Structure 1
Amino acid sequence: MSASPSLPPAPAEPTGKRSRRKHERPGELLQAALDLFVEKGYAATRVDDVAARAGVSKGTLFLYFASKQELFKAVVRDSIAGRFAEWSEELDSYCAPSSDLLRYCFNSWWERIGNTKASGITKLMLSEAGNFPELAQFYHQEVVLPGHELIRRILQRGVERGEFRPMDLDLAVHCVIAPMMFLMIWKHSLGGCLPQDGFVPEQFIAAQVDTLLHGLCTPGARLPILPICCAP
């Protein structure tokens, strides 16, 4: 019996294509990881699933990220923490009034973080931080503290220019952040599965900024000045 003819070898992938694919792979892994962390949470996400979604082997994933924890940190840096440097530069060069800067801060945050899948990382940390204290500390250092400092600088700018009244800046930072937190939680919980009933995030942001800048009382209204204190 004559030997069966051998199959021709598969065409080699062009070197340039292989090089581009290798260069793009970390980004593909980060995107796959972000999708799964937001969909399933940190604990339930397996590196096998991330690798499969990115179309690579688990071994390939470990060439770029030593563990699931390091992969998660890279996702946070890529999708959230990496934004603070550009925002800081924008703040330094901003020439308009501080009220406009505050509006820009809200709208820019919604466009770049809040209205993207990256905002699901915040909800993930709120629900799973207690089980992963090291990740909670990492998130606090690389996201929470820089975010607070950036907002504090905006408020301080307004006070120094006489555009905002004197205030406790540390407490005021939380007043600015609270609407952002609400939107992220809403987007990745009820907002994703219930009718919106006319709720438009951009309109909510505009209303929140207006309330922060002008308060609830009519101009000239006389109000009692109460000390800030803890409840008994």
Structure 2
Amino acid sequence: MSLSKLAAARGEDPAAKRERRKEARPGELLDAALDLFVEKGFAATRSEEVAARAGVSKGTLFLYFPSKEELFKAVVRENMSGRFAEWAEEFEKFEGSTAEMVRYCMNIWWERIGATRASGITKLIISEARNFPELAAFYQQEVIRPGTELVRRMLQRGVDSGEFRELDIEYAVFNITAPMIFLIMMKHSLGACVPQDYPLDPQRYLQAQVDVLLNGLCKPRDAAQEARP
């Protein structure tokens, strides 16, 4: 029995089934591309590999994404830059203190990006940016700039409310972003290759980073004086 007759016998509409499959293809291609880009890097990933993993022909891939570069950009938008509107809305609605916001920001970033396959995009950009400057510029525009602006607004919120002292905010931003980039690099490099030598509990790491960010390393002056013999 043909597939169409089998579908009809089951009460399914073959045309509707094909339409659902067609609508699902872009997402399937993006999932396959993300996996391969993270596994192999941008340069080593071939378009036909992405198509094969998604179960379609190379021609079908190019119907949706005319080049590997456009496919990569779509992967970044789907997994990272397309979420900034949602994150900005969360920022506006957050009712806790800015210290609580910093803690929430770093932990939720790990849950939504760092612990997912999408974290490999950052490592890929760092390793291949010099060879693909157009993609690096795209990532700068789509991910780094809006991410930096969101962190800058968070720090400014703390200064304006009187919770934080006056800061060089343009550089203080890196105190938030650098620990997260380090965690990604460890996850996809030494931590992946020799985890027994680089045991790193992400939640414990982020807790330690937040504690140092919010409290500093030095004791308050009075406490430091009391501790002296």
TM-score, normalised relative to structure 1: 0.89
Q: Which runs of 5+ in 2 are unaligned?
A: 8-13, 225-229
Match of 2:128? 128
| Aligned-partner Cα distance in 2 for 1:121–1:211 | 27
Post-superposition shift, 1:199?
2.2
Q: Which runs of 5+ in 1 are unaligned?
A: 1-7, 224-232
Does 2:123 correspond to 1:96?
Answer: no
Match of 1:24? 24
Match of 2:179? 179
Q: Percent of pairs identical after alignment? A: 62
User: Structure 1 20/222 Cα, relative in aligned 2: closer, same or farther at 3 Å?
Assistant: same
Does 2:1 correspond to 1:11?
Answer: no
Report if aligned partners of 2:51, 2:61 keep a CA contact under 8 Å in 1. Answer: yes
Does 2:140 correspond to 1:140?
Answer: yes
| Aligned-partner Cα distance in 2 for 1:222–1:136 | 47
Match of 2:66? 66
Q: What amino acid does structure 2 have at the position aligned with 1:76?
A: V
Query: Greater helix share, 1 or 2?
Result: 2
User: Structure 1 10/119 Cα, relative in aligned 2: closer, same or farther at 3 Å?
Assistant: closer
Report if aligned partners of 2:36, 2:45 keep a CA contact under 8 Å in 1. Answer: yes
* Runs of 4+ more than 3 Å apart: none
User: Structure 1 172/222 Cα, relative in aligned 2: closer, same or farther at 3 Å?
Assistant: farther
| Aligned-partner Cα distance in 2 for 1:134–1:164 | 38
Say how many residue pairs are matched: 216
Post-superposition shift, 1:11?
2.8
TM-score, normalised relative to structure 2: 0.91
SS in 2 for 1:11: helix
Match of 1:81? 81
SS in 1 for 2:162: coil
Match of 2:216? 215
